[in-house]
């Protein structure tokens, strides 16, 4: 065995151990949100702190740096996957070692207090009690960005944590192009005299039937229950623990069909990606998802591009009608399809429709940049939020709990995370368009409840690739283009132009 | 701070970390039996192997030995609890370091195969396929006993793993005295013309009502659902994860009342002990249970001495009748009380009644000694089992799946574990007798559904003591005597003498 190969093997053994520790923390995180008794919270915090400390110690072990340097000095003999593992471990090692441990601990310490205060601030819609903690977190996050390093904008350093290699300039360009087309579309829809009968989805939908129907829909996509499960939580999520264990969650609303059902489709989209990752590469980065944007593209693709399509309801409407005869016996497929696609500017991001959702993200992206660059003082955030929000969405924020206090992210210093949500929508549109081009029969397949060809295509082109390629390269290989707003806008114009009969 | 105090503090920091890792493994173990998807088994094995490796490395760290030696050299200044922590950590360190790592790994390796073969052997009642693996495990276990060291009998070394400080000679003395009185009692019951109407408990008991009634019974004992929960599994158990998180499990049988109900009382007894351990001592041995025997005494105390008493059913019979009117409307309290206390020699240990249960353990105790001393060859185990079983219980084993193949313990090399079950019954009787003496109103309290005084007494005298005292000393402090068979025999004679109208 060559010296490089020996070093690589040792590095991968260390990576495998870190991955196992991460997967253990995932089980504990899932349990905390699902079944942990209330009084177990204190011990759980200690357990998770121990595991994250372990992970950090393992990743920032100088031996990792030595091995990386040794391999990089003579990397010619690495295979594609080996090179990808080294590339991503280098990125993780740099992230873990550039920031002093004291600063990481300080951010954790302040986050605990900030989170508690944020919960109370949101409950009472009182920005003032959150501001001192938020101010401190912003200061520490800026220090962190300086340590991480950047070329153009400190926000680049933060973005890079969730979207390796992404830049503020590129996201700005994409979002600007998107907004230019999106704002007039939202306006045209608002001006349309055509309105969906949204009361249809606000009737009585018994939860036990919702569970059966929702699980069935996830299984129909190909989500594997032998390697997964569906549980009830307050804030739905998907946890990929590792090969053979990917769990999704939802919450139930007996008087609103969309909440649990599209939530399940969304999380099963994440779940399909996780279940499709290359199990034989588990332990190294290649066995893991490449970034939040691609992850979100898959939840959005299955939730919206498939699950909110007319094709989908051609097959599923008779079935949903049978599952909920009291609510839907007198409803037509077209009315139902329109009702689950209603567009209405609203204040809460997580409840936003397909068209307005990205505008919610742009508000946050614009503000976060100003916050991190220092152009926006913490005391001015509420006013800036309300002004930007009205400019983008055309409605006035009535109180901060429905404005700048609604999201959890800032309370743990998660600046730079939001853009991934909108990038996911763009990537999802791009990937779905490519899938359609590759399989001209896709519409008919979906309309006959056959998702296997789409899943197989995504499996081959996206899921099984893991972190082999960075996001832009993966997109270019799969779709032939760089990230673009056009496929999403083409899709939105076609779909909502028809629904709202826009000229 | 003195040098000893500094060393003690460092030792306790290490102990806390080991305890956290152990508690993490407990969450993963619980999840494996309750909610883990089937295909997650492979990853779960890797996660648990990593955690047990971590625990072993942490415990056998030479630094632990240095600190212990330093503290022991000048231990005069330690408090009672500090000394107990040092005593138990010394015991654990010696256990972890006396046996070479290679032997531990070899036992683990052979166990995996042995367990698989045992499952198949039990299913087909075919001893032969299990024998080679069992033989290898016995050989390795004898080597392990030699490394652990013993004075009289190699079995002492194995017993000591589950009952620190216990000896084969002492258990033999206790069990002989017990058997001398137990065998004639079983015979007298068999000869009695009086029989309970056992069909009563084999009627239809809807599972949803069993769940409500069983949970209510556990909560009535004082089991805290804010720091616990009840789930469904194949093989019921209780997991004490740590302060605020102690979970119990059961299995349901819609046509047999006893199975889930007394299972829940049994596990909630374990749960009450775990929930009552001193939370402020968490991290050191004092915060943990002292041994399997005391643990089992608590499950047996709540299940049998309380839950199968006439006092208990005075209060609960009208309630169980109300919960299951179809099954119990025509039943009298006395008939129900007798039915849940039916005595009948049977083949399967885990289904045995209060009277015959200990004889099942004695069969195993006798055989295990002969196996470990080398007096009994692996090929002769089935015949020896059947002969001993008939001698003790008076019935002929029809096949090995109902005989020597029924228990999982030997398949993972768990020799030395069985005696704890019977010791738990003896200790439970002794402790319950002491509780009665301390609280003359105990009968009336139980008969009015008031378990708080009993729980408070156990809390003060047993649960809050953790591992402060070794088992014998704890018993002596609480009951004024050494372990004895007399309280259990007094109880059995009185209860079953009356039920079966023995002279």
Nearest to A35 among B43, B229, B244 (CB): B229
Contacts of B13 (CB under 8 A, 6+ apart): none
Which of A39, A223, A274, A275 would you mutate first to test chain B, the one with the most B CBs within 10 A? A39
Nearest to A37 among B47, B50, B228 (CB): B228
Q: A231: which chain B residues are within 8 Å (Cβ-Cβ)?
A: 35
pLDDT at res. B2: 84
Residue A453 in 3-state DSSP?
A: helix
Nearest to A38 among B37, B226, B282 (CB): B226
Nearest to A137 by CA among A121, A117, A162, A152: A117
Nearest to B24 among A28, A228, A229 (CB): A28
Confidence of residue B3 (pLDDT cuts 50, 70, 90): confident
Residue B35: closest C-alpha in chain A:
A229
Nearest to B23 among A47, A227, A282 (CB): A47
- Mean pLDDT to the nearest integer, A300-320: 98
CB B217 within 8 A of CB B316: yes
Q: End-to-end alpha-carbon separation of chain B, Å?
A: 68
Other CB atoms within 10 Å distance of the CB of residue B287: 22
Residues in a beta bridge with B230: B248
Q: Flag if B41 and A225 touch (Cβ within 8 Å).
A: no
User: How large is the C-alpha radius of gyration of chain B?
Assistant: 23
- B47 to chain A, minimum CA–CA distance in Å? 6
How are beta strands A228-232 and B245-250 bridged, if at all? unpaired
Q: Flag if B21 and A46 touch (Cβ within 8 Å).
A: no
User: In this structure, what token pair is assigned to residue A459?
Assistant: 């499996």
Residue pairs spanning A and B at CB distance below 8 A = 104
Q: B231: which chain A residues are within 8 Å (Cβ-Cβ)?
A: 35
Distance, in Å, from the CA atom of A32 to the CA atom of A46, rounded to the nearest integer, reads 12
Q: Flag if A31 and B36 touch (Cβ within 8 Å).
A: no
Q: Which is the catalytic residue, given A82, A88, A259, A267?
A: A267
- Domain ranges, ordered by start, for chain B: 3-146, 199-346+437-468
- A228 to chain B, minimum CA–CA distance in Å? 5
Q: Which is the catalytic residue, given B136, B163, B267, B368?
A: B267
Q: B50: which chain A residues are within 8 Å (Cβ-Cβ)?
A: 17, 20-21, 24
Q: Flag if A43 and B226 touch (Cβ within 8 Å).
A: no
CB B99 within 8 A of CB B143: no
Q: B36: which chain A residues are within 8 Å (Cβ-Cβ)?
A: 245
Q: Flag if B245 and A40 touch (Cβ within 8 Å).
A: yes
Q: Flag if A37 and B243 touch (Cβ within 8 Å).
A: no
Distance, in Å, from the CA atom of A415 to the CA atom of A418, rounded to the nearest integer, reads 7
Give me the helix-helix angle, A41-59 and A3-34, nearest 10°.
170
Confidence of residue B245 (pLDDT cuts 50, 70, 90): very high
- A265 to chain B, minimum CA–CA distance in Å? 19
pLDDT at res. A155: 97
What are the angstrom distances between the C-alpha of B26 and each of A5, A20, A268, A309, B476? 37, 16, 28, 45, 31
Distance, in Å, from the CA atom of B186 to the CA atom of B171, rounded to the nearest integer, reads 21
Q: Flag if B50 and A247 touch (Cβ within 8 Å).
A: no
Higher pLDDT, B221 or A127: B221
DSSP labels, B416-435: T-THHHHHHHHHHHHHHHHH
Phi and psi dihedrals of A228, rounded to 5? -165, 180
- A108 to chain B, minimum CA–CA distance in Å? 20
Q: Flag if A20 and B50 touch (Cβ within 8 Å).
A: yes
Distance, in Å, from the CA atom of B86 to the CA atom of B70, rounded to the nearest integer, reads 11
* The pLDDT of residue B77 is above 90: no
Numbers of helices and strands, H then E, in chain B: 21, 3
Fold of A127-503: 1.10.1370
pLDDT at res. B113: 87
Residue A418 in 3-state DSSP?
A: coil
Tell me which H or E stretch contains A198: none
Q: Flag if B43 and A243 touch (Cβ within 8 Å).
A: yes
Contacts of B60 (CB under 8 A, 6+ apart): B93, B96, B97, B101
Q: Flag if B229 and A37 touch (Cβ within 8 Å).
A: yes
Which of B226, B245, B271, B275 would you mutate first to test chain A, the one with the most A CBs within 10 A? B245
How are beta strands A245-250 and A238-242 bridged, if at all? antiparallel
- Mean pLDDT to the nearest integer, B204-213: 98
| ipTM for the predicted complex | 0.94
What whole-number percentage of chain A has pLDDT above 70?
A: 100
Nearest to A31 among B31, B50, B244 (CB): B31
DSSP annotation of A378 reads G
**Residue B267: active-site member:** yes
Q: Flag if B43 and A229 touch (Cβ within 8 Å).
A: no
For the stretch B254-270, pLDDT in tens is 999 999 999 999 999 99
Nearest to B485 by CA among B95, B97, B58, B180: B180
Dihedral in degrees, nearest 10, Cα atoms B207, B213, B216, B217: -110
For the stretch A430-483, pLDDT in tens is 999 999 999 999 999 999 999 999 999 999 999 999 999 999 999 999 999 999
Q: A244: which chain B residues are within 8 Å (Cβ-Cβ)?
A: 37-43
Tell me which H or E stretch contains A246: strand A245-250
User: In this structure, what token pair is assigned to residue A388?
Assistant: 């930007």
pLDDT at res. A108: 87
Q: B282: which chain A residues are within 8 Å (Cβ-Cβ)?
A: 43
Distance, in Å, from the CA atom of B3 to the CA atom of B72, rounded to the nearest integer, reads 12
Strands of B238-242's sheet in order across? B228-232, B245-250, B238-242
Residue B310 in 3-state DSSP?
A: helix
What whole-number percentage of chain A has pLDDT above 90?
A: 93
Distance, in Å, from the CA atom of A291 to the CA atom of A198, rounded to the nearest integer, reads 35
CB A383 within 8 A of CB A367: no
User: How large is the C-alpha radius of gyration of chain A?
Assistant: 23
pLDDT at res. B440: 92
Residues in a beta bridge with A249: A231
Q: Flag if A40 and B227 touch (Cβ within 8 Å).
A: yes
Which of A14, A22, A35 would you mutate first to test chain B, the one with the most B CBs within 10 A? A35
Average pLDDT, rounded, for chain B:
96
Residue B21: closest C-alpha in chain A:
A47
Q: Flag if A17 and B50 touch (Cβ within 8 Å).
A: yes
Q: Flag if B247 and A27 touch (Cβ within 8 Å).
A: no
For the stretch A355-373, pLDDT in tens is 999 999 999 999 999 999 9
pLDDT at res. A3: 85
* The pLDDT of residue B63 is above 90: yes
Nearest to A226 among B37, B43, B227 (CB): B37
- B431 to chain A, minimum CA–CA distance in Å? 29
Q: Flag if A43 and B245 touch (Cβ within 8 Å).
A: yes
Contacts of B119 (CB under 8 A, 6+ apart): B411
Which of B244, B281, B282 would you mutate first to test chain A, the one with the most A CBs within 10 A? B244
Contacts of B473 (CB under 8 A, 6+ apart): none
User: In this structure, what token pair is assigned to residue A265?
Assistant: 């489709």
Q: B44: which chain A residues are within 8 Å (Cβ-Cβ)?
A: 245
Q: A47: which chain B residues are within 8 Å (Cβ-Cβ)?
A: 20, 23-24, 27
For the stretch A42-56, pLDDT in tens is 999 999 999 989 999
Q: Flag if A42 and B243 touch (Cβ within 8 Å).
A: yes
Nearest to B37 among A24, A42, A229 (CB): A229
User: In this structure, what token pair is assigned to residue B194?
Assistant: 């009086």
Which of B47, B243, B271 would you mutate first to test chain A, the one with the most A CBs within 10 A? B47
- Interface of chain B against chain A, CB under 8 Å? 17, 20-21, 23-24, 27-28, 31, 34-44, 46-47, 50-51, 224-229, 231, 241-245, 247, 282
A350 CB-side CA count, 13 A: 12
Confidence of residue B76 (pLDDT cuts 50, 70, 90): confident
What are the angstrom distances between the C-alpha of B249 and each of A463, B93, B260, B305? 37, 32, 9, 21
């Amino acid at each position: 065995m060559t010296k490089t190969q020996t070093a690589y093997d040792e590095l991968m053994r260390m990576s495998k151990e870190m991955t196992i520790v991460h997967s253990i923390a995932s089980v504990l995180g899932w349990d905390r949100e699902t079944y942990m008794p209330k009084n177990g919270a204190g011990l759980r915090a200690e357990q998770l702190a121990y595991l994250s400390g372990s992970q950090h110690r393992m990743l920032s072990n100088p031996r990792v740096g030595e091995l990386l340097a040794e391999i990089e000095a003579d990397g010619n003999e690495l295979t594609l996957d080996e090179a990808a593992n080294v590339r991503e471990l280098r990125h993780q090692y740099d992230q873990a070692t550039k920031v002093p441990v004291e600063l990481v601990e300080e951010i954790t310490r302040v986050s605990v207090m900030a989170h508690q205060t944020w919960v109370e601030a949101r409950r009472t819609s009182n920005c003032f009690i959150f501001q001192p903690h938020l101010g401190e977190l912003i200061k520490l996050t800026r220090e962190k960005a300086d340590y991480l390093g950047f070329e153009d904008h400190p926000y680049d350093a933060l973005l890079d944590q969730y979207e390796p290699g992404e830049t503020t300039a590129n996201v700005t360009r994409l979002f600007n192009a998107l907004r230019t087309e999106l704002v007039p579309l939202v306006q045209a829809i608002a001006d349309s005299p055509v309105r969906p009968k949204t009361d249809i989805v606000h009737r009585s939908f018994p939860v036990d039937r919702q569970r059966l129907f929702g699980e069935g829909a996830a299984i129909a996509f190909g989500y594997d229950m032998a390697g997964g499960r569906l549980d009830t939580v307050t804030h739905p999520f998907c946890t990929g623990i590792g090969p053979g264990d990917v769990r999704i969650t939802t919450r139930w609303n007996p008087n609103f069909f969309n909440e649990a059902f599209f939530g399940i489709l969304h999380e099963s989209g994440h779940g399909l990606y996780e279940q499709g990752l290359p199990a034989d590469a588990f332990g190294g980065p290649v066995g893991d998802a490449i970034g939040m944007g691609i992850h979100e593209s898959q939840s959005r693709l299955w939730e919206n591009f498939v699950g909110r399509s007319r094709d989908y309801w051609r097959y599923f409407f008779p079935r949903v009608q049978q599952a909920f005869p009291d609510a839907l016996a007198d409803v037509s497929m077209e009315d139902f399809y329109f009702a689950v696609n209603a567009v209405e500017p609203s204040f809460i991001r997580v409840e936003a429709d397909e068209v307005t959702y990205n505008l919610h993200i742009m508000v946050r992206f614009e503000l976060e940049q100003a916050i991190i660059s220092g152009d926006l003082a913490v005391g001015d955030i509420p006013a800036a939020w309300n002004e930007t929000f009205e400019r983008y969405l055309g409605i006035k924020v009535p109180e901060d709990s429905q404005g700048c206090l609604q999201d959890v992210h800032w309370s743990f210093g998660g600046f730079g995370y939001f853009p991934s949500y909108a990038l996911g929508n763009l990537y999802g549109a791009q990937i779905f368009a490519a899938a359609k081009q590759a399989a001209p029969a896709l519409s008919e397949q979906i309309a006959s409840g056959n998702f296997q060809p789409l899943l197989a295509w995504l499996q081959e082109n996206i899921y099984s690739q893991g972190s082999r390629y960075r996001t832009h390269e993966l997109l270019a290989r799969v779709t032939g283009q760089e990230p673009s707003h056009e496929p999403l806008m083409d899709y939105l114009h076609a779909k909502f132009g028809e629904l709202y009969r826009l000229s």
